[in-house]
């Protein structure tokens, strides 16, 4: 950790005291570095821990304009804060280096890294990759935008790191070297944060910088690197790419470079999106020593993640799925497309904060696959306006009650909001739990 010795005498500010910021503070303290801690909130969530474990640190909580950020040498910023915040812009213009925790990790780490970004499917892909590597005998760490902050992983003796990275994290990362990296897919999201959709795409594509192997989505040209690179490229897709799906002996298979590698039935969870995620994992892990037997074991034991097309139950012949993690239009399209193959009559519950996204993309999928679209939340009226099948409600309880009334045996009720949850919930997990509770109420 030679880099840490180089910065020990620098004036370092940790900006943001949420989960990520607290992880940064803990790590710096473990390296005998005493950071200046700043948060725009008067009472940030990590302040109690700070008062108990590091009361000696200088802090500033409140208006960032009064935080003297331009006087420090380096700011390590939490991903929830925009680089366009006036006080941060002022510091950058004054010559202050602004990085994120992933960038600090990158400057310290020397072990192999598998990195994943994309608008949808990131958490599922990194979790499955983690399980496959673990099954193959690797000491593997999982972190980033899922579960554990990256700096908290550095005190473990790991062979490989599997990281989920958001566009916000990539915006403050420049030095990350990866064994393999992918952009799974790109659809409109976070347009309240970026100047344009292209700026969001560029942020995602930056994950390829420093990658030894690039994994691209053959079905989504937006995931392809803009500049030419000498790094080897592998692709995955539904019917094209080095890793794709095809029929073999009257059964759908995962195809690896035209070899029928494994039947899709080897995977415990179903749905086209899950099959594509599995193909992405196979491509990402191609540089590692993993056998077909390892895949058979890991795929058979993988039951998916909560709030990602999670099967809630079947009541009166109606199936209920919780895809609260579908916080953007692309994720909702993927959920509808995946379930529509087996379930012709979908009752979809959607709504929340669309974050400026173009909801019109949903129209053809609603017309083709959806029996009723039930909406609530901040942008519910915009969703209802998409189709004559739209219904406006006030909350989840009303939405689920109406879904039960409109569905009949053989139908599927799908929560796939196409929106963020922040208008009515603390996070998508709370929204998903609310859906499950409303579904089970009076049915169990």
pLDDT, tens digit, for every residue of 263-291? 999 999 988 889 999 999 999 999 999 99
In 1-117, which residue ranges form alpha helices assigned H by DSSP?
2-7, 19-30, 47-53, 86-93, 101-108
**Model confidence over 188-214: pLDDT tens digits?**
777 778 889 999 999 999 999 999 999
pLDDT of 221 reads 96
Closest CA to 288 of 165, 125, 140: 140
pLDDT of 338 reads 84
DSSP 8-state assignment for residue 360? G
Domains along the chain? 10-95 (3.40.50.720), 104-301 (3.40.1190.10), 310-440 (3.90.190.20)
- What is the number of H-type helices and E-type strands within the chain? 15, 20
Residues of the chain with pLDDT under 70: 341-344, 442-444
Q: Across the strands, what pairs with 263? A: 253
pLDDT of 34 reads 97
Confidence (pTM): 0.86
Residue pair 223/184 in contact by the 8 Å Cβ criterion? yes
Which regions of 239-280 does DSSP assign to beta strands (E)?
243-248, 251-256, 259-263
- Cα–Cα distance, 190 to 169 (Å, whole number): 13
Strand order in the sheet with 370-375: 310-315, 318-322, 412-415, 346-350, 370-375, 390-392
- Cα–Cα distance, 162 to 129 (Å, whole number): 7
Which backbone phi and psi does 135 adopt, to 5 degrees?
Answer: -60, -35
Which backbone phi and psi does 394 adopt, to 5 degrees?
Answer: -100, -25
Residue pair 79/103 in contact by the 8 Å Cβ criterion? no
Assigned token pair, 292 = 């077909």
- Cα–Cα distance, 211 to 208 (Å, whole number): 5
pLDDT of 341 reads 60
Active site residue ranges = 122, 145, 190
The whole-angstrom distance between residue 444's C-alpha and the CA centroid of its chain comes to 32
Assigned token pair, 61 = 């909580």
Cα–Cα separations (whole angstroms), residue 135 to 139, 264, 268:
10, 19, 16
């Amino acid at each position: 950790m030679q880099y840490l010795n180089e910065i020990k005498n620098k004036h370092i500010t940790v900006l943001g005291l949420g989960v990520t910021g607290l992880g940064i503070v803990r790590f710096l303290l473990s390296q005998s570095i005493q950071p200046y801690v700043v948060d725009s909130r008067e009472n940030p969530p990590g302040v109690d821990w700070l008062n108990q474990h590091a009361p000696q640190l200088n802090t500033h909580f409140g208006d960032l304009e009064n935080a003297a950020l331009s006087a420090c040498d380096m700011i390590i910023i939490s991903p929830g804060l925009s680089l366009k915040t006036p006080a941060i812009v002022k510091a950058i213009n004054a010559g202050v280096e602004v990085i994120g925790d992933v960038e600090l990790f990158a400057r310290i780490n020397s072990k192999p890294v598998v990195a994943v970004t994309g608008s949808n499917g990131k958490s599922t892909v990194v979790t499955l990759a983690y399980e496959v590597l673990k099954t193959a005998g690797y000491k593997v760490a999982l972190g980033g935008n899922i579960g554990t902050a990256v700096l908290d992983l550095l005190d473990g003796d790991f062979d490989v790191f599997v990281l989920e990275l958001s566009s916000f994290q990539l915006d403050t990362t420049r030095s990350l070297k990866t064994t393999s990296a992918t952009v799974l897919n790109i659809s409109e999201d976070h347009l309240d944060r970026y100047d344009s959709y292209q700026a969001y795409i560029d942020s995602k594509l930056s994950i390829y910088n420093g990658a030894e192997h690039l994994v691209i989505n053959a079905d989504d040209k937006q995931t392809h690197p803009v500049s030419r690179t000498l790094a080897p490229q592998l692709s995955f897709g539904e019917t094209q790419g080095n890793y794709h799906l095809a029929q073999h002996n009257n059964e759908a298979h995962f195809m690896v470079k035209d070899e029928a590698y494994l039947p899709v039935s080897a995977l415990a969870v179903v749905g086209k999106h899950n099959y594509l995620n599995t193909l992405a994992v196979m491509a990402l892990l191609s540089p590692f020593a993993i056998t077909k037997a390892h895949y058979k074991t890991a795929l058979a034991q993988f039951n998916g993640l909560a709030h990602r097309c999670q099967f809630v139950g079947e009541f009166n012949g109606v199936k209920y799925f919780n895809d609260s993690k579908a916080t953007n239009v692309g994720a909702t399209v993927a959920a509808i497309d995946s379930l529509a193959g087996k379930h012709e009559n979908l009752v979809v519950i959607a709504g929340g904060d669309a974050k400026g996204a173009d909801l019109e993309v949903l129209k053809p999928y609603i017309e083709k696959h959806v029996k009723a679209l039930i909406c609530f939340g901040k942008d519910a009226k915009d969703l209802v306006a998409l189709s004559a099948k739209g219904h406006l409600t006030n909350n989840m309880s009303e939405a689920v009650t109406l879904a039960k009334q409109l569905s009949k045996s053989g139908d599927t009720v799908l929560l796939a909001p196409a929106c963020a949850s922040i208008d009515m919930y603390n996070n998508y997990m709370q929204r998903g739990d609310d859906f499950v509770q409303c579904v089970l109420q009076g049915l169990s």
